[in-house]
């Protein structure tokens, strides 16, 4: 049960980081409207915006990996119940 809680906490942390940085990137680097379009041509190349893109990319990979591992675990439990034991 502890492993499930840790996995859920990891997924929640990865998603929260992803969502927060995506919203911050949208606000700071490419705001809405025509001024955002014009500002985005300059600001998206800044180190802060580049770091935001890297964080968004990495947290997306982490989050999707956690989801895939959870789905795989469910499939393994259905196909071979009792084969993997919680310790």
The contacts of residue 30 (CB under 8 Å, 6+ apart) are 36, 37, 39, 40, 43, 44
Among residues 24, 17, 29, 7, the alpha carbon closest in space to that of 74 is found at 7
pTM to 2 decimal places = 0.75
Give pLDDT tens digits for 27-62.
999 989 998 898 888 888 899 999 999 999 999 999
d(CA 18, CA 62): 10
Note the residue count of the chain.
87
Instruction: Give the per-residue pLDDT at 86.
Output: 57
């Amino acid at each position: 049960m502890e492993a499930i809680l840790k996995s859920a906490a990891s997924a929640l942390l990865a998603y929260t980081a992803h969502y927060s940085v995506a919203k911050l990137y949208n606000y700071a680097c490419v705001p809405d409207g025509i001024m955002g379009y014009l500002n985005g041509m300059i600001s998206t190349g800044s180190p802060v915006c580049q770091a935001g893109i890297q964080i968004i990319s990495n947290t997306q990979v982490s989050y999707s990996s956690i989801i895939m591992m959870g789905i795989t675990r469910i499939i393994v439990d259905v196909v071979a119940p009792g084969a993997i034991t919680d310790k």
